[in-house]
Chain A
Amino acid sequence: MTCQQARKNIPLFSGKELPESEQNALAEHLQTCPACQALAREYRQLHEHSRDILQPDEPPGFYDQFASEVLQRLPRGKTAPARSKTSPIRHRWNGRPALAWATAAGIAAALFLVLILFRADLQTFFRPRTTLQAYLQQQDFQGLARALTNDRTREALVQDSVSVDLLLQSVQELERLNRRDKAIGRFIGQSLGLAWGVLEQGPRRARAFCLQSPAGEFNFYKAIRGLRLIGQSRKKVTLSEIAAIAERYC
């Protein structure tokens, strides 16, 4: 353990609040480092004296009227405490309407800002069952990349049947945009890469190959090759069919 790490942990050492391994490592370090030892001694001194501070020194008779004063402060009309939905722990803005309104206004402003800034993302999110075909025909590859990284929209996309040419184009465009997000890499790259492997090398070798290769860059290349091979054998293909191949062999 370095002195820098030790100094970071020393405030929690004397109270034994550190995890056991760190507590032991720090104890070892303190045996060999006089500077850290001095610092630990200061904190220990503080810790020991803290127990005795702020002892109330109530004057005589301080508690004589205490209970009766509380009983006088109780809301009238009740003779016994009834169960109430009110929590005994009042929230910090109870009785402070200005703070509550300011907080509400702040949250509303933040939501509005999010709506403005991420309008395109929200549109993608709420768009019902956007077709892959639509993205490709409009050449909205940014939108497609966003849709593929969103669980909900990706579900809708994988049901669409598109021509292999369009799919190939989409994979190439996604690669060109350098949107190699984990989700895109995992879905398109790995599943299409596996499909390629299945078609060209057989399921066992394809599975071994895909388990070894990281999702992302490398599999984009395999995905394009896989699509070309699939295109030679079939006219139309869906992403879900390709995913099904992946699932069957993984």
Chain B
Amino acid sequence: LSKPNQNRLSEQAFAAIIRRYQRPLVALAYRLLGNLDDARDAAQETFVRLWQAGTWPDDESEQFALLAKITTRLCIDRLRRRKRRPAAVPLTGSEAIAQRGANSPAQDLAGKELRRQLEIAVQRLKPRQKAVFILRDVQGYSVRETAAIMDCSENSVLVNLHKARKNLRKWLTPYLNIGAEI
């Protein structure tokens, strides 16, 4: 991140920032926490932290990166606090996902079931593995961007990503290849 803008933001400008980034931040927090109320709270706390720090990069591409960094850190802390409490089953937002290409109905059904199980399995991952998986595979950040958001090395991202995917594959083995067999 470059040196942030030294100028003070007015409350009006700050409100505009909130409106602009609220949706993607809630989405990120939701993916990490698996619960919409917690995600809303984490996203709001992100903005409060930003206000307290008064740092705001000029570069637009760095603005969301900064917010994502704060949110990810907050969510990892919250996940750690939850400890081994069973994770809430996430909302079924993926039900509304557009169907892919020319798949058969049976394949679509298998795909839906796999996504549903994947959403549940992701909640079982350890906080750092989960964060790396969400940022890289769900949000689509590059390894370098993920490392910058997580404030760690690229190697550490790859190690956690490897573990996360391996665990998910292990837990979801019964649901994999079903669509292909049909």
Complex contact B40–A66 (CB within 8 A): yes
Complex contact B8–A82 (CB within 8 A): yes
Q: Does A80 contact B (CB under 8 A)?
A: yes
B22: contacting residue among A17, A63, A79, A80, CB under 8 A: A63
Complex contact B93–A46 (CB within 8 A): no
- Mask: chain B, 107-139; 1 = CB below 8 Å from A; 0 = not: 000010011001100100000000001101110
Q: Does B148 contact A (CB under 8 A)?
A: no
12 A–B pairs (Cβ distance < 8 Å), ordered by A: A15-B161, A46-B176, A50-B118, A51-B138, A51-B140, A53-B119, A55-B94, A56-B30, A57-B36, A66-B19, A81-B50, A89-B151
Q: How far apart are A8's CB and chain B's nearest CB, in angstroms? A: 9
Q: Which A residues have a C-beta under 8 Å from some C-beta of B?
A: 11-12, 15, 17, 38, 41-43, 45-47, 49-58, 62-63, 66-67, 69-71, 73-75, 78-84, 86-90, 92
The A-contacting residues of B in range 62-119, CB under 8 angstroms, are 66, 69-70, 73-74, 77, 80, 90-94, 96-97, 111, 114-115, 118-119
Number of interface residues of B (CB under 8 A): 73
Q: Does B2 contact A (CB under 8 A)?
A: no
**Cβ contacts under 8 Å, B18 to chain A:** 66-67, 70-71
Question: Chain B: interface secondary structure?
Answer: helix
| Residue of chain A at shortest CB distance from B72 | A89
| Residue of chain B at shortest CB distance from A59 | B36
- Distance in angstroms between the alpha carbons of A71 and B51 in the assembled complex: 9
- Mask: chain B, 20-38; 1 = CB below 8 Å from A; 0 = not: 0011001100110010100
**Cβ contacts under 8 Å, A66 to chain B:** 18-19, 22, 40, 43-44
